[in-house]
Amino acid sequence: MNDRFGRNINYARISLTDKCNLRCVYCMPSDAEFKQKGINELLSTNDYKFIIKGLVELGINKIRFTGGEPLLHPDIVELIRYTYEECGIDNIGITTNAIGLCDIADELYKNGLKSVNISVDSLKEYRYKSVTRGGDLKEVIKAINKCLSVGLKVKINCVVIKDFNEDEVLDFIMMTSIYPIDVRFIELMPLGEGNKLYQYGYFNIFEMIENIDEMYKVNNEENSAAQYYKYKGAKGRVGVITPMSCSFCSTCNRIRVTSNGSIKLCLHSKEELDIKPYLNKPLIFREIMKENILEKPQKHHLNENQQSDTNRNMYQIGG
């Protein structure tokens, strides 16, 4: 359905948990603790199914499961199967740190998953370990190979941070020559933990890519947040996601569902709609969602304010 600015809202990002098995420095505090035991105290698997079905009936035709770390959800395979088989959604992705992905990539693919966005900020083991506070890069590389071998489309997400990994940009670009994958560079955003790093860590990746002679612009997918390029002769593409230096609000077609049952129409707004009261009430859910989508903000104010308006961290929203 359309919002009041004529944007066709057809993409939902659904966070399955705010918990994570890593603690990336720009995303989660090192001492983040999760009070309750278990993985998903707030929305049950049936709640997620209700929400997915309801959103599909409203015109959502693309779904991404994210988090926190979505692979920690015990029913991720079932939710993907449900979305694909029972809701008829073909365009299903996950955004993941890929820890444990190698073992279930095949099962996810067979149940309807089409694409994985894997977050990797360094190709050097010691740096990867330090930015994630403990992650093992070898496991991620193994997962990338496995995903490609089972037929999943792979995109790499790399947050570029000044004086940390900007010297690896070319190494990441070279991955698109070796593998049939897209690598997407993301600007660091001043949001949650990212606020602490932003002042010193922001790096204008757009400028850097534009100045590499061997790169040329290619067509973007419709409503894509990324501007895509290709390195001469490469198999995959290089994307640049620049919420700061160049916002994509005017074509934003997405809404977000948090794992505690709120709808966020804009990543950077503090406005949220608690949809828990409307669970299992299809008619009222539909009406409330229609009204709410009309209220999607026209744009974020990251540049004016140099910080996000949301009170949440990225892991509590679903990136």
What is the binding site for ligand SF4 (CB under 6 A)?
20, 22-24, 27-28, 67-69, 97, 119, 314-315
Q: How many residues bind ligand SAM (CB under 6 A)?
A: 20
- Which one of 80, 169, 186, 302 is in contact with ligand SAM (CB under 6 A)? 186
Q: Which of 16, 87 has the CB closer to ligand SAM?
A: 16
Q: How far is CA 109 from CA 80, 150, 225, in A?
A: 9, 7, 24
Q: Is 67 in the site for ligand SAM (CB under 6 A)?
A: yes
Nearest to 276 by CA among 296, 297, 257: 257
Question: Residue 104: is it exposed, middle or buried by C-beta count within 10 angstroms (0-12/13-18/19+)?
Answer: middle
Question: Residue 43: is it exposed, middle or buried by C-beta count within 10 angstroms (0-12/13-18/19+)?
Answer: buried
Cβ at position 105, least distance to ligand SF4 in Å: 17
Query: What is the C-alpha to C-alpha distance for residues 12 and 250, in angstroms, rounded to an integer?
Result: 17
191 binds, among ligand SF4, ligand SAM, none (CB under 5 to 8 A by kind): ligand SAM
Query: What is the C-alpha to C-alpha distance for residues 116 and 102, in angstroms, rounded to an integer?
Result: 12
Strand order in the sheet with 62-66: 215-217, 226-231, 238-241, 182-187, 153-160, 115-119, 91-96, 62-66, 11-15, 254-257, 262-264, 273-274
Q: Is 188 in the site for ligand SAM (CB under 6 A)?
A: yes
CB 118 within 8 A of CB 22: no
Which residue in this structure is represented by tokens 């926190």?
68
189 binds, among ligand SF4, ligand SAM, none (CB under 5 to 8 A by kind): ligand SAM
- Which one of 3, 69, 182, 272 is in contact with ligand SAM (CB under 6 A)? 69
Cβ at position 277, least distance to ligand SAM in Å: 27
Cβ at position 288, least distance to ligand SAM in Å: 26
Pick the stretch among 33-41, 187-195, 272-280, 288-296 that binds ligand SAM (CB under 6 A): 187-195
CB 28 within 8 A of CB 315: yes
Q: How far is CA 95 from CA 4, 49, 83, 101, 263, in A?
A: 29, 19, 16, 11, 18
Secondary structure (3-state) at 311: coil
Pick the stretch among 6-14, 39-47, 146-154, 185-193 that binds ligand SAM (CB under 6 A): 185-193
Interaction with ligand SAM in 297-316: which residues (CB under 6 A)?
314-315
Interaction with ligand SAM in 91-130: which residues (CB under 6 A)?
95-97, 119
186 binds, among ligand SF4, ligand SAM, none (CB under 5 to 8 A by kind): ligand SAM
Q: Is 258 in the site for ligand SAM (CB under 6 A)?
A: no
CB 130 within 8 A of CB 24: no
Q: Which of 201, 236 has the CB closer to ligand SAM?
A: 201
**Residue ranges that bind ligand SAM, judged by CB under 6 A:** 20, 26-27, 66-67, 69, 95-97, 119, 157, 159, 186, 188-189, 191, 194, 314-315, 319
